[in-house]
Structure 1
């Protein structure tokens, strides 16, 4: 082989080698950029970024100006969804004819809500800021034991096996409306339809409280209904008996189906969102079989509450089979705890949990609750808001579709 040919081959081989190195470098760089953008939520596809607004340990709802300012701040920090409470402590937080007929009060009597319709304010101001507004039917079938609702309709309250009604929630005495009683079902359905029909909302959200603590259900009406369907046989004295649990859970599923279609009959595009605990807890302790609801097409957005400090436990709950199955059908977001009144959660923990959620291609995140994003924390407002700005560096659309992101 002559020297000229040999020299030409060497040049060609060198050129090809350099091209391979360059292509590999560009590919690696692209993968790093995609990985970074995915971690930061800036891929420009979609991500749900929500927060729950509540009137418990929070005053965000109690003046027009504070509410308006808070929604502006959320938009500025690139949030795109709010879940404002509309039903808790035995009252509606909007003027309700349905509540007035049953309770005798059309609105929560808290002074900051007087002569206001906060749901109308939130939808108007929220939409002005480009926020999706999904009211949260927070208390579901639960009510304070001393509420006007419990006093007005004692026959609606279900019981333990010993006939007692009180269920402790922290320091509070609660009672539970009987979700198997037709009058209760009509009342709850009417409240929900009233919201859907009268307000410019984007969806409505339920959680485990649209179920029942599994130790309840021994009131005379429910026992009679069970006997009627079981040839006179009474329900098990063991409230965790699998058949007794399933019978009650299936009845609640039937009600969920009825409510879903009532919502759709009044507003076809109203999103039905459910924010439960992990399936086993939700089913065994609250008779809320959300896995079945999801398979039946009764959930259009799932926001799974994963309020865990231990990162290994947090990750394990993201990887349950029923969660992965739901991801294939509907947008699934993860509820992350940002703190409670007497429990501050470090922003580093919050950021890590958001990252782990993104790594697993979830539709987004929702934070519980507004006040602990930055107002109620051991860290400064500036540090917290700056950290959320890094988590959400630019505006993205809410994720309303199946995840279409790059796999990790």
Structure 2
């Protein structure tokens, strides 16, 4: 028996959102069995539907592999698909099951411009060493265990665009999404040979600043990623105008200062159908602070395009309690946000409640 998640909320909040408002969750292949079989996918869809959700953001690129069979990836590294999913197409399966339940399904390119996690023997590194990002010491660009390509390099840019368009063309997908790794790169990057030459050409032979977060250098790098976001948006819309393009970056200005994600520019520039900032906090006080900050950054005319991302579970066992989630959703509504996206799907497995019920 499912317990009504909104039972204690004012009726106006429970009924305030329009049918178009995003009520979503991220579905990943890490610390979750949601995608390991067709039966599990059916269960994932069923539980999301029972919980009152209407949108699934499903991982399609993680750990340096696509989860779906990809001819693009095969052309680059000779491997068609993540080995754990060989012989199946979990993306096609969840689209079919999701649409049968009237849920929207978006392809989430989670790994973005990273190519490996705690792995210095990556096949991508061996095949395409010139793509790799470098820090000021000339070392491989690594942050929090993730190894990163140079996101300014045309090689990985073309790879990711080709994979995105492969999904848009070949699947009945409702949207595509980049997150805090697409388009993104740790601000410490930019010291590889390609970027060094590009910088010298742009600035009359000037040497790279020794400080990777030098204000003008950081802006120069971020502006190129903003241009890439626009390029992806335009390419997707040319192929399938109805396909939603969303970005799920970190909070601003941290997103810009640490990962070169100037997402307010993307939003105001018109190359974001949705922006879902990751407002990941563990208590209502901290959440209130960053939600109010977010609201101040978004013009009223663009508010409907911004959807808070809420941390509700982690693979290490963290689980937000229902009362905290209630307060977060209530606060979202009070500040004019009509929906939210929960990280991540296992929340629904751990606590059998029903979201968004009157």
Rounded to whole Å, the distance in 2 between the matches of 1:208 and 1:90 is 16
The aligned residue for residue 124 of structure 1 is 96
Aligned to 2:235: 262
Q: Distance in 2 between matches of 1:43 and 1:292?
A: 27
Task: Please state how far the C-alpha of 1:324 moved relative to its aligned partner.
Answer: 4.9
May I ask how many residue pairs the two structures share in their alignment? 344
Report the CA distance shift for 1:216/1:362 in structure 2 as closer, same or farther (over 3 A).
same
Q: For each residue in 1:86-143, what CA deviation from the matched residue of structure 2 results, as whole angstroms up to 9, or x when unmatched?
A: 0110000111011001121110011xx1211111111111000010111111011012
1:392 partnered with 2:340: no
**CA shift digits 1:201-244 (9 cap, x unpaired):** 11111112011000011001101100011111012110111000
Please give the alpha-carbon distance, in whole angstroms, between the structure 2 residues aligned to 1:341 and 1:79.
21
TM-score normalised to the size of structure 2?
A: 0.92
CA distance in 2, matches of 1:237, 1:37: 56
Structure 1 stretches of 4+ moved >6 Å: none
Whose helix fraction is larger, Structure 1's or Structure 2's? 1
Q: Matched residues in 1 for 2:83 and 2:289: separation?
A: 42
Matches within 5 A, 1:369-408: 369-375=344-350, 384-386=351-353, 389=354, 391-393=355-357
Q: Does 1:241 align with 2:241?
A: no
Structure 2 residues without counterparts, runs of 5 or longer: 1-8
- In the TM superposition, 1:95-114 aligns within 5 A as 95-110=69-84, 113-114=85-86
| 1:147-183 deviations in Å (ceiling 9; x for gaps) | 32222211110101111115142xxx32211122122
In the alignment, is the contact (CA less than 8 A) between 2:141 and 2:149 conserved in 1?
no
1:305 is matched with 278
Q: Within the alignment, does 1:182 sit opposite 2:190 as a pair?
A: no
1:361 has 2:325 as partner: no
- Aligned residue in 1 for 2:6: none
**Does the 8 A contact of 1:291 with 1:322 survive in 2?**
no
Is residue 36 of structure 1 aligned with residue 36 of structure 2?
no
Task: Assess if the C-alpha contact under 8 Å between 2:17 and 2:338 holds in 1.
Answer: no
C-alpha contact 1:75 1:131 (8 A) present in aligned 2: yes
CA RMSD of aligned residues (A): 1.7
Q: State the SS of the aligned residue for 2:79.
A: coil
Gap change, CA 1:273 and 1:60, over 3 Å in 2: same
1:333 maps onto 2:307 in alignment: yes
Work out the CA distance in 1 between the residues paired with 2:29 and 2:19.
33
Q: CA deviation at 1:42?
A: 5.8
Check the 8 A contact 1:41/1:47 in 2, yes or no: no
What residue in structure 2 maps to residue 70 of structure 1?
A: 44
Structure 1 unaligned spans of 5+: 1-34, 376-383, 395-408
Matched ranges for 1:159-174 at <5 A: 159-169=134-144, 173-174=145-146
| C-alpha displacement of 1:43 | 5.8
What is the alpha-carbon distance in structure 2 between the residues aligned to residue 250 and residue 234 of structure 1? 19
For 1:148, the equivalent position in structure 2 comes to 123
Larger radius of gyration: 1
CA distance in 2, matches of 1:291, 1:60: 33
Matches of 2:114 and 2:238, distance apart in 1: 26
Structure 2 Cα separation of the partners of residues 151 and 51 of structure 1: 35
